[in-house]
Structure 1
Amino acid sequence: MDILFVADPLERFQIYKDSTYAMMAEAARRGYTLHACEPAHLAWTGGDVEANVRRFTITGNPADARRSPWFVAQAAAPRSLKDFSAVLMRKDPPFDMEYVTATWLLDLAERNQGARVFNKPQAIRDHSEKLAIGEFPQFVAPTLVTRDAARLRAFHAEQGDIILKPLDGMGGMGVFRVKADGMNLGSIIEMLSQDGARSVMAQKFIPEIQLGDKRILLIGGQPVPYSLARIPQGNEVRGNLAAGGLGRAQPLTARDQEIAATLAPVLAARGLLLVGLDAIGDWLTEVNVTSPTCFREIMEQTGFDVAAMFIDALEGAVG
């Protein structure tokens, strides 16, 4: 297979923790040819969707997860996306208009040229990583999405202890806890909503966050048997690894398995080959579809080869 990774620049990869690198390394181990580009390199020429891509190979000792450089790349050259066996959209958020434009271009490549894109671009756009939980209310703690300050204040008064966050945040950015005393509630609402211009998500605070914000991976409609519990450190309320959380791999609980078994076939049928569910305690909090991570941590702590499971699923999807 020839595989194109649409991702951040290879030079910025931190391979010791990068899930996209884990995919690349497993694909290379199987003898597949690797190419990379950034969303900015995509172009519609009036006929084809093409990109200036770099063919690259992984170099150095695979056991050295902090080696640099870790790849050798050829000069970039234009290629049509239809020429690749698979195109993997692995660009990290933010999910801004340029990200949306990239999915539109990938859509054209899919529909007009028969390119094989994973995750499916339309499915990425259709699943807001915060709002997608609304399709599965049986697994969701009390939640409100609005830009109405009065509604947010009333939700706080009802629940007493809440989390507020933006709908387009990542890595724990912009996440606030407001306890029963309501300290700074008005200021937080004004800032997150930009004085009523943007919608905000409010959720009842789930005390089980102290045990970790669990990442549950779904691959090809099947759950990885381990989650990564990202445990807040110190006085933090955020478990995100980017916010300093400590990652601890653990077997899925019965509730995790119930959530995964319900969501996995639905999401896979929509063209979402890889999904990262977030759960705190018994509650589903997010459905991540843009660039789900945590492969490396689970692999290193449990020995379960998440990357191999992913490439197996990719081979099955490509046929």
Structure 2
Amino acid sequence: MKLAIILDPLESIKTYKDSTYAMMRAAHARGHELYVMEQHEMVLREGAVAGFARKLDLVDDALRWYTLEEAAWHALSDFDVTLMRKDPPFDMEYIYSTYLLELAEGQGAQIFNRPAAIRDFNEKLSTAKFPEFMPPTLVTRQEALIREFIEQHGDIILKPLDGMGGSSVFRIPRNDPNLNVIIETLTQLGARTVMAQRYIPEISQGDKRILLIDGEPVPYALARIPKEGETRGNLAVGGKGVAQLLSERDREIAAALGPKLKDAGLFLVGLDVIGDWLTEINVTSPTGMQEIASQTGFDVAGMFVDALEKCVRGEA
């Protein structure tokens, strides 16, 4: 299999925890060819979507874990699979990349996740496609409605629709003295739409990341447990990741969403579940593979490559 990966600069990758690195290791171990390119190296020229891709070899070296060949011009359709693994921010440059990738699909490239699906599934707002699993939620930029929601539920979470890693996520109890400034800041004085959700106290037991691979759940979730004094469980803000078997409710959510997300073209998805509630559907660059594998011995990256190989053989 000839595999291209669109990703952040290799020198920025933290190999001890990065899921893309785990995927590359698993694919390399099976003899698949790896090529990498950065977002800005993808180009539409003479009607074809192509890029300056570099063949990658993984090595066991404490100082440098890879070697690269010189960049060469490749149409994306030359590869068996192209993985879009660029981390957010999900800005206009990211959207432009999905347009290019969608054009490449029309030229025969196989892209995971499908670029149109990445655009269609806002990682927070897309939970509304599955209202039976979503906690009480309000999406608005109107201050009066946010205040009404706080009065109704007493304790809420307020967050932007384009954040990642727990950034700009606020817990607001009723009568919070900072209520005015929080609403003004997050909505940019009514110019930006935000999401409010009822606070889920089970966050103390972890914000669970459930990975779906081609519609099937990894049997373990990564529960990201907030550090003392913190509401957010995100690893980026100091949460502790603890792998645990999926609960009955986790399996129910995964079984309901898996086939639908697969049909939408979402090959790798990270569901965020707090208590019994689905809070986010991560489609850009889901992580957690290495933490689950190191704690349980389950080869998540191997499951991912197995599924890729089946797709290339036309068995999926």
Question: What interval of TM-score do these two structures reach, taking the shorter chain for normalisation?
Answer: over 0.9
The answer to whether 1:117 aligns with 2:128 is: no
Matches for 1:266-281 after TM superposition, within 5 Å: 266-281=260-275
Asked if 1:318 is matched to 2:284, the reply is: no
Report the AA paired with residue 210 of structure 1. S
Q: Where does residue 102 of structure 2 map in the other structure?
A: 107
- Report SS of the residue matched to 2:74: strand
CA RMSD of aligned residues (A): 0.8
Counterpart CA distance in 2 for 1:313 and 1:95 is: 26
Structure-2 separation of matches of 1:92 and 1:247: 20
Q: Which residue among 256, 262, 265 is the counterpart of 1:262?
A: 256
Tell me how far apart the structure 2 counterparts of residues 222 and 90 of structure 1 sit (CA, whole Å).
20
| Deviation of 1:237 (Å) | 0.5
How big is the shift at 1:56? 1.0
Give the fraction of aligned pairs with identical amino acids, expressed as a percent. 58
2:3 counterpart residue number? 3
1:164 aligns with 2:158: yes
Residues 263-282 of structure 1 deviation map (CA, whole Å, 9 limit, x = unaligned): 00000011111000000000
CA distance in 2, matches of 1:317, 1:187: 50
* 1:243 lines up with 2:237 in the alignment: yes
Which residue does 1:173 correspond to in 2? Answer: 167
Matched, 1:233 2:227: yes
Paired letter, 1:58? L
Shift of 1:220: 1.0
What residue in structure 1 maps to residue 47 of structure 2? 47
The answer as to 2:194 corresponding to 1:194 is no
* Among 66, 71, 80, the residue aligned to 2:75: 80
Structure 1 unaligned runs (5+)? 62-66
Give, in whole Å, the separation in 1 of the partners of 2:101 and 2:39: 10
Q: Does 1:95 align with 2:70?
A: no
User: Within 2, Cα distance between the matches of 1:19 and 1:183?
Assistant: 40
Counting only pairs closer than 5 Å after superposition, residues 217-232 of structure 1 correspond to structure 2 as 217-232=211-226
The alpha-carbon deviation at position 11 of structure 1 amounts to 1.1
Residue deviations 1:179-212, cap 9 Å, x none? 1223211111111111111100000000000000
Amino acid at match of 1:47: G
TM-score normalized with structure 1 length: 0.97
Describe the SS at the equivalent of 2:64.
coil
Task: Decide which moves more: 161-170 or 173-182.
Answer: 173-182
Amino acid in the other structure paired with 1:270: A
1:146 pairs with one of 123, 140, 147: 140
Deviation at 1:77, TM superposition (A): 1.6
Alignment of 1:32-43 (within 5 A): 32-43=32-43
The one-letter amino acid paired with 1:53 is A
Secondary structure of 2:219 counterpart: strand
Partner deviation per Cα, 1:251-300 (whole Å, 9 max, x = no partner)? 00000000000000000011111000000000000000000000000000
1:134-164 deviation per Cα after TM superposition (whole angstroms, max 9, x unaligned): 0111111111010111111110111100000
Distance 2:255 2:68 in 1: 40
SS at match of 2:34: strand
Q: Which amino acid aligns with 1:237?
A: T
Question: Number of paired residues?
Answer: 313
Q: Secondary structure at the residue paired with 2:183?
A: helix
Structure 1 counterpart of 2:298: 304
Task: Provide the C-alpha distance between the structure 1 equivalents of 2:200 and 2:63, rounded to a whole number of angstroms.
Answer: 41
Q: How many angstroms apart in 2 are the aligned matches of 1:205 and 1:46?
A: 52
Cα deviation per residue 1:5-28 (whole Å; 9 max; x = unaligned)? Answer: 000011110010000000000000
Amino acid at match of 2:29: R
**TM-score normalised to the size of structure 2?**
0.98
- Alpha-carbon shift at residue 74 of structure 1 (Å): 1.0
